[in-house]
Amino acid sequence: MTGEMMRQLSWILPLGCACLEVAFASAAAGLVPGKAFDRLITIWLENQDYSKTILDASITDLARRGILLTSFYAHTHPSQPNYLAAISGDYFGNDHDDMVHIPKNVSTVVDLLETKRISWAGYFEDYPSPGYMGNYSKGSSGDDSWDYVRKHNPFVSFESVFTEGERLLQLQSFRDFQRTFKAKLVPQFVFMTPNMNNDGHNTSLKYATDWSYKFLKPLLDDKAFDEKTLIMLTFDESEDYSKPNQIVTLLLGSAVPKALKGTQDDTFYTHYSMLSTIQNNWGLPHLGRYDVGANVFKFVAEQTKYKKNRDPVNRKEVNSSVSYPGLLHSDPAKVLPIPIPNSKLIGAGGRPILDSIKSTWASAFKGDWQTPYDGSGKVFDGDEHLPEYKTAAANRP
Ligand SMILES: *[C@@H]1O[C@H](CO)[C@@H](O)[C@H](O)[C@H]1NC(C)=O
Ligand SMILES: *[C@@H]1O[C@H](CO)[C@@H](O)[C@H](O)[C@H]1NC(C)=O
Ligand SMILES: *[C@@H]1O[C@H](CO)[C@@H](O)[C@H](O)[C@H]1NC(C)=O
Ligand SMILES: *[C@@H]1O[C@H](CO)[C@@H](O)[C@H](O)[C@H]1NC(C)=O
């Protein structure tokens, strides 16, 4: 449907029908082509070490159809902070799985995508109804077990999402995903979490990877999507808390160049790399947090001629097992305000910070203001590599 048709329709249809706008935004609105992919679907499994995962038979088979990222690190433990980080560029000191609320002046990937009207959705298995805000739900197992859990759905923790009805409606169940998949109407950015059994949380590595193999089979079919689709299968964190938090991530789907299928990429990545890759692919603004400086997936960077990927200077010493201080830390002595986003940086999309962040935080950009976000890609933890607050400065061009 063209913009002109939408304008004409808006005369005929009742004013203020938000449901209609949502339908347009997620389905009929024009596809926004990306430089290396037109769609990104990320699927999150739970708690497995890199060293064990690469030996798994389903993972080995899937790796032949895509790119294995051999240096991908989660940020901390337990689950929730890793999910929060992936969509907002920080985990704000979170070190637990209890319910959190992140203030409205913190933006997420949703704000970035909506600048270009790129459709998006979150799909959560056994999610009882669109926009459900509860802590958990009983689902397919039917007993009192937690099938859907809030801690694995980062969107509902952000006021900037849950206070906007149209955004909440984009959070749906796996049944809704299958419906849109059959109709060839899958949005352009999709975040998916299987239930507590299928994601391996309450089961095993084999259970989760067998499930993934079956789930992915139709999605990896040549005819599954008409547009160039990147499927990113990842884990939230490692199982072993004592090791650097290394996890397996696979890049699959039609967006992966044929010549790269079955190869490995040893570039250093974290969950922030999804944000920088999306920005790079669609030329989007950034969030002014750790998204800036995070390495862009190499096959994408090659196609966009992005040259800023590099190892963080402290790559070898980092122990990303313990959360640094911040607003969502459980220890009152480690609670800090939300850091000021760095409005002086240029992100991987070649663009400055999102306009609405610049205006919302304008009062903070005064005098010699300090921020931990320097766009360097350096990684931090709660042991010996605490975030370093410095006078805000531009990153290298
Ligand atoms: C959800 O969990 C939080 C703790 O994480 C608790 O404070 C809250 O009361 C729970 N909400 C419901 C509806 O049970
Ligand atoms: C998964 O484990 C949690 C405890 O970690 C438990 O409360 C829940 O009922 C289990 N869910 C399923 C689906 O077995
Ligand atoms: C990382 O920190 C945890 C918790 O302090 C500790 O148990 C572990 O030994 C550290 N790992 C490394 C590789 O330093
Ligand atoms: C962001 O929101 C928090 C919570 O409402 C508030 O404490 C803080 O002052 C706000 N920051 C700015 C710059 O508006």
CA distances from 255 to 242, 252, 288, 381 (A): 35, 8, 28, 33
- 338 pLDDT more than 80: yes
Question: Which residues have C-beta within 8 Å of that of residue 49, sequence separation ≥ 6?
Answer: 238, 239, 240, 243, 246, 247
Candidate from 50, 239, 242, 320 with most ligand 3 atoms within 8 A of CB, to mutate: 242
Per residue in 93-113, pLDDT (tens digit) is 999 999 999 999 999 999 999
User: Which of 157-161, 193-197, 242-246, 329-333 is least confident?
Assistant: 242-246
C-alpha of residue 168 to centroid of ligand 3, in Å: 38
Give the per-residue pLDDT at 68: 98
Query: Residue 339 CA: which ligand is closest?
Result: 4
**Whole-number Å distance between alpha carbons of 182 and 262:** 28
Give the per-residue pLDDT at 142: 61
- 25 pLDDT more than 70: no
Domain range list for the chain: 35-391
Give the per-residue pLDDT at 3: 38
361 lines ligand 4 (CB under 6 A): yes
The protein residue whose alpha carbon is closest to atom 7 in ligand 3 is 242
Q: Which tokens hold the place of 148? A: 């859907």
Q: Which tokens hold the place of 59? A: 């993972």
103 lines ligand 4 (CB under 6 A): yes
What residue ranges in the chain does DSSP mark as E strands?
Answer: 39-45, 67-73, 120-124, 136-137, 148-149, 171-173, 189-193, 229-235, 246-252, 263-265, 269-270, 370-371, 390-391
Per residue in 202-211, pLDDT (tens digit) is 999 999 999 9
Buried/exposed 234-245: b ≥16 CB within 10 Å, e otherwise: bbbbbbbeeebb
Query: Residue 97 CA: which ligand is closest?
Result: 1
**Whole-number Å distance between alpha carbons of 5 and 151:** 40
Q: What is the pTM of this model?
A: 0.92
From the CA of 244, give the closest atom in ligand 3.
13
Average the pLDDT over 267-290 and give the result: 98
The H or E element spanning position 176 is helix 174-182
Give helix 272-282 / helix 79-88 axis angle, nearest 10°. Answer: 20
Query: How many Cα neighbours within 13 Å face the side chain of 81?
Result: 27
**Whole-number Å distance between alpha carbons of 151 and 97:** 6
C-alpha of residue 99 to centroid of ligand 1, in Å: 6
> Average pLDDT of the chain?
92
Per residue in 51-78, pLDDT (tens digit) is 999 999 999 999 999 999 999 999 999 9
Query: Residue 384 CA: which ligand is closest?
Result: 3
**Whole-number Å distance between alpha carbons of 10 and 2:** 12
From the CA of 319, give the closest atom in ligand 3.
1
364 lines ligand 4 (CB under 6 A): yes
Per residue in 339-395, pLDDT (tens digit) is 999 999 999 999 999 999 999 999 999 999 999 999 999 999 999 899 999 999 999
- Percent of the chain surpassing pLDDT 90: 86
**Whole-number Å distance between alpha carbons of 282 and 113:** 9
Per residue in 162-171, pLDDT (tens digit) is 999 999 999 9
Give the per-residue pLDDT at 145: 62
C-alpha of residue 136 to centroid of ligand 1, in Å: 9
Q: Which tokens hold the place of 379? A: 């990684």
Give the per-residue pLDDT at 191: 98
145 lines ligand 2 (CB under 6 A): yes
The three-point CA angle 89-38-293 to 5° equals 30
- 235 pLDDT more than 50: yes
CA distances from 359 to 104, 354, 363 (A): 13, 9, 8
Query: What architecture is the 35-391 domain classified under in CATH?
Result: 3-Layer(aba) Sandwich (3.40)
C-alpha of residue 384 to centroid of ligand 3, in Å: 10
Per residue in 131-162, pLDDT (tens digit) is 999 999 877 666 656 699 999 999 999 999 99
C-alpha of residue 341 to centroid of ligand 4, in Å: 12
C-alpha of residue 105 to centroid of ligand 4, in Å: 6
Residue 41's φ and ψ, nearest 5 degrees, are -115, 120
The protein residue whose alpha carbon is closest to atom 10 in ligand 1 is 135
C-alpha of residue 203 to centroid of ligand 2, in Å: 9
Give the per-residue pLDDT at 316: 85
202 lines ligand 2 (CB under 6 A): yes
The protein residue whose alpha carbon is closest to atom 6 in ligand 3 is 242
- 11 pLDDT more than 50: no
C-alpha of residue 329 to centroid of ligand 3, in Å: 19
